[in-house]
């Protein structure tokens, strides 16, 4: 497990939806010890909050996908009115996303929301920010304080502190923006500290991944509040994924970051799936469900592996909850090696697949039967794990690679002799078949 930077800890939620802790490792204000909570995954609904039934459905869907916290936008009074009806129907802590109108924050607090997200930079009146702080303090609600690039860029005033910081960061690529972010953050936090309010989570997002890394690194050196990581406006899933993972993984491996949101111009369900997968990949959360390994395929492939992998992924995601490792490999070259490290594995030959469970060969089936048999073995294995009859990650026997010609129907001699029909992988259709 990667070590984490110690922070203060905040808690959101209630007895009904459960409590989510963010950060930790520094003593609580009463002096009691805290330990860092697992990094949590947040997302935000894409629909209108005032559409109560649709919003509830979307929150259910995101929570079922594994979101630990869900944020909703409350731009209008009808949205905070709707919150009163939404919150009692959902089973996950809800954050109200407030911009410009401090009244929305007060109404959201009244409606029973579990946390407020506020960029003090877009609420003009300091007294209004103080009103929100007092309302949250009265109910023990944390506040996320944002100094996101987009919300402060127009506020480059000539304050003395910013000039000082400008000199400190002058040699850095993002020196000017870092100076603004830190100066503004200090200014905002003073408002909270003056109210004796410390249940704060900080965010400093940008669409520039390298600025995100620099900003959060600098903030983590200067402040001990937990950090909400994210790359804002990251773009479509296809490229936004790379942009987000590039920034977030660099921070997380250095122990920085306590809750994350990956943001895509797409269904937020992908934000949850990819956020969880990032944390699983870094060992920052215990995996739920299947850890699927698959080969990229190459000129040796002799089954339609792309389709098989997608089918296996889809079906196992719905049916398997224990974190078993499943390997789907295209041929005998790397198949046995990966199969040895997996709980359930298949490696393919000439239109066939040999299936293993913890190193023991259980079947050799023709291609059309691979999917069903692999799923059956995964579900049987899951049942045994749940009944305590099998242990995850236990290798019972070493795999002896099968005789390729006799058992897999292929093999180098047969391939060399032109006796195996080549699978034709057509990138446009990803289909494999006899040509």
Chain center to CA of 254: 17
Coil vs helix vs strand at 284: coil
Burial of 377 (0-12, 13-18, 19+ CB in 10 A): buried
Q: How far is the CB of 328 from ligand SF4 (least distance, A)?
A: 9
- 114, two tokens: 């579990």
Q: How far is the CB of 298 from ligand SF4 (least distance, A)?
A: 3
Site for ligand SF4 in 290-319 (CB under 6 A): 295-298, 300-301
Q: How far is the CB of 346 from ligand SF4 (least distance, A)?
A: 11
Cα–Cα dist 87/116, whole Å = 14
Contact 202, 145 (CB under 8 A): yes
Q: Which of residues 128, 172, 334, 364 is near ligand SF4 by CB under 6 A?
A: 334
> Comparing C-alpha atoms, which of 80, 68, 91, 86 is closest to residue 116?
80
By beta-carbon proximity to ligand SF4, the closer residue of 73 and 295 is 295
Q: What residues contact 164, with CB distance under 8 A and at least 6 apart?
A: none
> Comparing C-alpha atoms, which of 364, 284, 370 is closest to residue 326?
370
Q: Which of residues 240, 335, 336, 353 is near ligand SF4 by CB under 6 A?
A: 335
By the rule CB under 6 A, 254 interacts with ligand SF4 = no
Q: Which of residues 62, 65, 229, 329 is near ligand SF4 by CB under 6 A?
A: 329
Q: How far is the CB of 408 from ligand SF4 (least distance, A)?
A: 11
Q: How far is the CB of 329 from ligand SF4 (least distance, A)?
A: 5
Q: How far is the CB of 241 from ligand SF4 (least distance, A)?
A: 23
Q: Which of residues 331, 346, 371, 432 is near ligand SF4 by CB under 6 A?
A: 331
- Total chain residues near ligand SF4 (CB under 6 A): 12
By the rule CB under 6 A, 374 interacts with ligand SF4 = no
Torsion of CA 186, 72, 11, 16, to 10 degrees: 160
Cα–Cα dist 151/99, whole Å = 10
Q: Would you tell me which residues interact with ligand SF4 (CB under 6 A)? A: 295-298, 300-301, 329-331, 333-335
């Amino acid at each position: 497990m990667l070590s984490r930077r110690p922070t203060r800890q905040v808690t959101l939620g209630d007895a009904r939806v459960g409590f989510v802790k963010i950060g930790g490792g520094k003593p609580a204000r009463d002096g009691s010890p805290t330990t860092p909570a697992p990094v949590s995954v947040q997302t935000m609904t894409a629909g209108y909050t005032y559409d109560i039934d649709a919003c509830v459905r979307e929150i259910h869907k995101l929570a079922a996908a594994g979101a630990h916290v869900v944020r909703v936008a409350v731009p209008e009074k009808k949205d905070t009115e709707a919150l009163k009806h939404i919150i009692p129907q959902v089973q996950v802590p809800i954050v109200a996303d407030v911009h410009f109108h401090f009244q929305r924050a007060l109404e959201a607090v009244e409606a029973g929301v579990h946390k407020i997200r506020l960029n003090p930079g877009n609420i003009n009146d300091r007294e209004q920010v103080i009103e929100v702080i007092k309302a949250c303090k009265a109910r023990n609600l944390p506040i996320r304080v944002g100094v996101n690039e987009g919300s402060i860029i127009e506020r480059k005033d000539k304050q003395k502190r910013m000039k000082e910081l400008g000199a400190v960061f002058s040699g850095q690529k993002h020196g000017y923006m870092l100076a603004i972010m830190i100066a503004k953050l200090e200014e905002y936090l003073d408002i909270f500290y003056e109210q004796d309010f410390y249940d704060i989570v900080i965010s400093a997002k940008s669409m520039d991944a390298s600025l995100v890394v620099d900003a959060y690194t600098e903030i983590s050196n200067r402040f001990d509040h937990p950090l909400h990581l994210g790359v804002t406006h990251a773009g479509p899933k296809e490229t936004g994924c790379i942009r987000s993972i590039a920034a977030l993984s660099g921070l997380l491996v250095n122990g920085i970051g306590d809750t994350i949101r990956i943001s895509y111009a797409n269904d937020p369900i992908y934000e949850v799936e990819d956020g969880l997968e990032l944390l699983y990949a870094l060992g920052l959360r215990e995996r739920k469900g299947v850890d699927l390994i698959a080969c990229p395929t190459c000129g040796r492939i002799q089954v339609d592996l792309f389709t098989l992998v997608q089918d296996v992924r889809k079906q196992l995601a719905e049916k398997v909850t224990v974190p078993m490792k499943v390997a789907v490999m295209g041929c005998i070259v790397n198949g046995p090696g990966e199969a040895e490290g997996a709980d359930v594995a298949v490696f393919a030959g000439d239109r066939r697949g040999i299936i293993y469970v913890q190193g023991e060969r259980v079947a050799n089936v023709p291609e059309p039967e691979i999917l069903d048999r692999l799923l059956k073995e995964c579900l049987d294995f899951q049942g045994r794990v749940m009944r305590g009859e099998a242990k995850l990650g236990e290798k019972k026997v070493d795999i002896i690679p099968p005789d390729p010609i006799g058992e897999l129907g292929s093999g180098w001699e047969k391939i060399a002799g032109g006796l195996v029909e080549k699978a034709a992988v057509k990138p446009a259709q990803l289909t494999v078949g006899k040509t």
